[in-house]
Chain A
Amino acid sequence: MLVLCSWLNEYLDKKVDIRDDKEVKNLVNILDNLGLVVESVQEVGDDLKGVVLAQVEEINPIEKKDKIRQVFVNAGKSMERIEVVCGAWNFTVGDIVPLATVGTRLPGNFLIEERRLGGVTSNGMLCSKRELGLGEDHSGIDVVFTSLNGQIPADMQLGMSYGEYFGIAKDILLDVAVEPNRPDALCIYGIARDIAPHLGAKLLPLHFDAAPEADRKGQPVSVAIEDDALCDHFSFQVIDNITIAPSTRKIAYRLSLVGMRPINSVVDATNYAMLELGRPSHAYDMDYLSGGDRNQGNDQGVNAQDEVRLVVRLAQEGESLVTLDGNLRSFAGIAEQDPRDLVIAKGDGEILALAGVMGGKASEVTETTSTVVLEIADFDPKVVLRTSRFHQLRSEASLRFERGIDPAITVLVANRIYTLLKESALQYGVSMPRPFAMETVGQNGNQARKSLVISLQNIATILGKTFSRDEIASLLSPVGFEVSQPLDEDKSEVVIPAFRPDVRMGADLAEEIARHFGYENFAKRLPRSRVVGRLKPYQENLRLAKQALIAMGINEAWTNPLVDKNYYPLPKEQLIMLANPLTSEENSLRTSILPGLLGAVKRNASYRNPYLRLFEIGRVFAKSSVKAGSLSAKDKKLRVQDYVSEREELCCVLAFPDDDAKESYKVFEVLLDRLKIDDLSFRLLDLKDLPQEKDFNFMHPSRSKAITLPNLNTMGETLVGTVGEIAPDFLSQFALLGRRVGVLTLDLNGLFSLQKKSLDSKPISIYPSSDIDLCFVADYLVSSRDIRQVLQVAAGEYLESIRLIDSYREENAKVRSLTFRLRLSDANGTLDEKLLGQIWQDCVTSVADSLGVGLRTA
């Protein structure tokens, strides 16, 4: 919210000196510390410094020019006869006009210089309102006083500053961020209230003169509220005898500075009152409501016979409204659980305005309006929120209604609007508006006195500091809370002001106390956990796995879990789509990390780094196979896992020059070693033996394996992961064709649940060990792992280690030879030849019997 320092000053008995940087800095600090964060500070108002009041003395045509004229003005002492060229025609000799003198920098950084036009020297410029930053009016010079109205007012002296005359001076414009829980701070008066005690100032009470005939009865309008719950009260006041004029220059200037376009006296008055007091209001063109011809204004007041009937109701299906911004809003008739589209309509059905959000185009106040109906209502915050959200129509009014307005200031607001209209009428010398007595319909329940009982003990617990009742009263009463006499030693009643609908419980009051006491004035205390912090087993395993992976030269990546369904290279049946994606490239959730990692390899390759290893550990998602009945979005019992499944996956992509399927398996074996998993705890299956084989078409079928473990419940196999190489045809999608790229994918829960190996130590022998080399010839149905496992058992208790020392395959052969070296030792002595011979025989026999694999014959 944009806030002018001078505007705040109007409500403080001790003013902030706008010209003193220290005071301004102090103000900014106070606001920051109250949670009203100042996002920018800007000096404004200086740009009208060189604009003075001047009287037109002579107007002459310029030869051969029919659009511009030579004008002599008198701008007082030492500037008694200034010659300027002017293109506007809306003034005459004797008028008082604004003269921007040479050297002035007008809003928009427009520098006034001496110029020659049509042979005439222009020593300044006569200004329009737009040129002065007072709105859009550029139809002519801003004639401050016209000689047709007689004598110049006594206080208007030639040569005096235009800004000073109209109350516009150097000012400070602050951009203050107001949090959603501070509806009271969405207006100048509310901010002044919050800062006053911290400036050592008192907040000045609000007082605005009522209209002279405030009891004028017989408004030609009646209002009915259909649903009391959606509109607490609706106050309305007909004002006639209006001649539409601009707002006073000061009001127009202020509105421009805080980002609201000045339009006319009526619209500006409602806007200004909203910014100042926080209460939105709306003015309807009465001439339109009563069905009269808008173009024939009615200067004679309103005829009580054409009474207009207004209804506050929900819009029905098929109805529509063109709002002030020119857009057509269609309504669906939502009236059930979460109603929206509350409207103000005429009795005959025509919708006039979207309640609390925006008025309608048809009934807007125009140049010719002579009578208005002023609406000051209290609409339900939620219905306003839903309406503005649905129609994507956020206005200054809806913002305030959504957060809660002050229901207690209806009359003040009406009087404020009246005083603004009156000032405009005086400044522009037009007819004085005449309001009727305001009427209110509705339950008017929001004004009821609300209070909370606070416990000093409770406040002390929440804040970690004891406050006495008096201390609390001195902090809260300046900002509108009333702390009653104690109910007992501990408890007191606190009356909540109507402008603080956000304060509903003790904690809210504690925040108010803390805010005004100063967050930085509290002590610091470190609470102690009574347990020793340590990673959970899963977290410990995760860190071990990551350490093991980076030790193998694999870099950790983080790819986007949001993927593009249209280009997703894996099966799409399980993809969960986003209901509201931001872009089509990010419209669904990955089922695997692999495409992301391959994309990263491709990207690196395009930057000339084709050889790298990457891994990522992260969530992958899939639609759930069980689909439960639908529960309401708000239902606590809704179980996410009935709709979607989520698990943590580890994925490695190996793309060093020599990487291949075996390197992937090596990474897997190293992980097992680091995680102390028993090598016998899983099975390796061919992908074609998996029921979900088609889901793995990205894996190279003859160079990959599935890692499974028997599932005792289903008697089938549970998939833990896959290890091997990316299929050649799949690689081509990532511009990697012709390379071997290793891949390892593991479900982390599956991996971590594998059987751990025994960590009991085995003795080591001090006697010489012996080696047995065995060279087998096997086809690819038998794996090195199979042979190793048989040897492991067959070699028995003397086995120290088995290593695969050679693997040899003749080109395109269906078999290969595998040479294993078994190292054997005995803790009690040297193994003799006879025993070694026996072990050799046992190993050869076992491998032949269980795997059908024999030794290579020379």
Chain B
Amino acid sequence: MEENIKTILATLDDIVSKASSAFDAVNDLSELASLESLYLGKKSALSEIKKELSALEVDSKKIVGEKLNVVREVLEQKAREAKELLEAAKLAKQIEEDICDVTEVDIDGVYGHLHLVTQIRQELEDIFLGLGYEIAEGNEIESDWYNFTALNVDFDHPARTMQDSFYLDTGENGSILLRTHTSPVQVHLLERGQFPIYAICPGRVYRRDTADPRHLPVFHQIEGLVVDEGIGFADLRGTVEVSMQAIFGSETRTRLRPGYFPFTEPSAEFDITCVICKGEGCRTCGGQGWIELGGCGLVHPNVLSASNVDTDRYSGFAFGFGIDRLAIMRHNILDIRYLIENDIRFLSQF
């Protein structure tokens, strides 16, 4: 073997050894890049040797060429490994630095809340939409006629002492008032003269009650009205039961007891099985197993006649209950006045 070939091969071994230690010792990617250029670049010793290859004899050329390839592969492998290690280390470092506690958040103010009364009202509306009812609304200021007279509560009727009303200091005295129930909406529906009627009337009502933990002078009601051919007591019972089950759960049972409202005859109070004890009897229901929820009955013939409904053809039923009462019952609210105080600590609970 020629002496200079030995020298070349020795030089190559020397390069491998030096480069290997250099690649092993490299600390960052820029240093790696300069090492790569130093050992594998165009101006590297390997490149110089390759350039000199043509000057060699065929055999020598083969030997040196093969050696060159091996060396280059080794060095490239070394560089790759070093790069992988460095990149892994860099990623690990970034990951370590990136550390974050995902729970370091405060959603205060990010999203608002619908008022509890709105939430329950929408729930009730959706239930009755599912039964094919329309949602009818009306004015909160009504005339005496729509609030009382057309509902068979005539001026001297004892029932007018039951509902103490806010009258307005406008128009003729005693003629314009804040509605005491949503029933005037029913009268407007009857007057519309389009039958059948399957409707609910949710809304705000006013009564001259002093605010206390159980009462507000301003509160919300939902009433239902069905007027169709052949509607009777059984339809009322069925509708009350189905809708209460939709609201309170399918295990809920309902009970009707005789009651009195001027606008219905027969009239009934309706109870549901206690939402807390499911009818076993507990403190909420006073051990009765039942909770009185609302009133209902068949629409009084005088009410239908007052709005010129053909009573030979049509009959109907109506029912109603308080939305706020439902809210305080369902959410165990100790004082109904929370509903109107708008304390953010209360509003944001629901």
Contact = CB atoms under 8 A, between A and B. Distances in A.
A462 B259 CA distance: 17
A632 B155 CA distance: 12
A581 B166 contact: yes
A552 B141 contact: no
A34 interface: yes
Contacts of A514: 233, 258, 266
A511 B129 contact: no
Contacts of B347: 555-557
B112 A560 contact: no
B158 A630 contact: no
B284 interface: no
A403 interface: yes
B175 A633 contact: yes
Interface string B254-269: 0111111000011111
Contacts of A609: 343-345
B282 interface: no
A241 B133 CA distance: 72
Interface string A498-532: 00000001111011001100011011111111111
B56 interface: no
A555 B116 CA distance: 11
A557 B315 CA distance: 39
Interface in B41-88: none
A578 B169 contact: yes
B111 A553 contact: yes
A646 B149 contact: no
A621 B315 CA distance: 36
Interface stretch (B2-10, B14-22, B234-242): B234-242
A579 B340 contact: no
A614 interface: yes
B208 interface: yes
A670 to B, nearest CB: 13
A644 B168 contact: yes
Interface in A519-560: 519-520, 522-536, 539, 543, 546, 549-560
A528 B155 contact: no
Contact of A562 (B109, B122, B217, B260): B217
Interface string B223-257: 00010101111110111011000000000000111
Given A338-B155, A555-B344, A525 B234 contact: yes
A508 B340 CA distance: 40
Nearest to A394: B161
Given A604-B344, A631-B175, A463 B234 contact: yes
Q: Identify the interface centre among B111, B265, B340: most chain A CB within 10 Å of its CB.
A: B265
Contacts of A361: none
A202 B234 CA distance: 31
A556 B118 contact: yes
Given A179-B260, A389-B161, A633 B268 contact: no
Contacts of B232: 460-465
A381 B267 CA distance: 23
Interface in A119-154: none
Nearest to A621: B141
A180 B153 CA distance: 12
B158 A607 contact: no
Nearest to B191: A636
Contacts of A115: none
B176 A35 contact: no
A362 interface: no
A199 interface: no
B158 A402 contact: yes
Interface residues of A, number: 104
Given A402-B158, A536-B135, A558 B342 contact: yes
Contact of A551 (B112, B115, B173): B112
A527 B217 contact: no
B120 interface: no
Interface residues on B, range: 35 or more
A583 B211 CA distance: 11
B98 interface: no
Contact of B238 (A525, A577, A600): A525
B342 A644 contact: no
B181 interface: no
B36 interface: no
Interface string B267-295: 11100000000000000000000000000
A389 B159 CA distance: 12
B170 A519 contact: no
A656 interface: yes
B124 interface: no
A309 interface: no
A752 to B, nearest CB: 14
A643 B161 contact: no
A535 B129 contact: yes
Interface in A769-793: none
B226 A462 contact: no
Contacts of A554: 112
B149 A522 contact: no
A643 B171 contact: yes
B109 A656 contact: yes
A524 B235 CA distance: 6
Given A550-B111, A557-B347, A527 B235 contact: yes
A527 B238 contact: yes
A385 interface: yes
Nearest to A611: B109
B114 interface: yes
B216 to A, nearest CB: 9
Contacts of B348: 555
Contacts of B143: 638-640
Nearest to B290: A32
Contact of B234 (A465, A633, A656): A465
A436 to B, nearest CB: 36
B298 interface: yes
Contacts of A463: 232-234, 266
Contacts of B231: 527
B300 interface: yes
A475 interface: no
B339 interface: yes
Contacts of B242: 526
Contacts of B234: 463-465, 522-525
Interface string A333-352: 00000100000000000000
A550 B113 contact: yes
B114 A550 contact: yes
Contacts of A559: 340, 342
A36 to B, nearest CB: 8
Contacts of B105: none
A211 B267 CA distance: 44
A576 B301 CA distance: 35
B204 interface: yes
Given A535-B135, A638-B175, A558 B115 contact: yes
B186 to A, nearest CB: 15
A339 to B, nearest CB: 11
Interface string A297-324: 0000000000000000000000000000
A766 to B, nearest CB: 35
Nearest to A632: B172
Given A507-B298, A638-B176, 7 more contacts: A338-B156, A402-B158, A529-B198, A534-B129, A561-B218, A600-B342, A634-B155
Interface of B: 109-115, 117-118, 122, 125, 128-135, 137, 139-145, 149-150, 155-156, 158-159, 161-162, 166-176, 178, 196, 198, 204, 206, 208-210, 217-218, 226, 228, 230-235, 237-239, 241-242, 255-260, 265-269, 298, 300-301, 315, 339-345, 347-348
16 contacts: A461-B230, A462-B298, A527-B235, A527-B239, A529-B133, A553-B110, A558-B117, A579-B167, A582-B210, A633-B173, A636-B149, A638-B143, A638-B171, A638-B172, A643-B168, A644-B170
Which 10 interchain pairs have the tightest Cβ spacing?
A35-B258, A529-B132, A464-B234, A464-B232, A179-B260, A511-B266, A533-B129, A550-B112, A529-B198, A633-B175
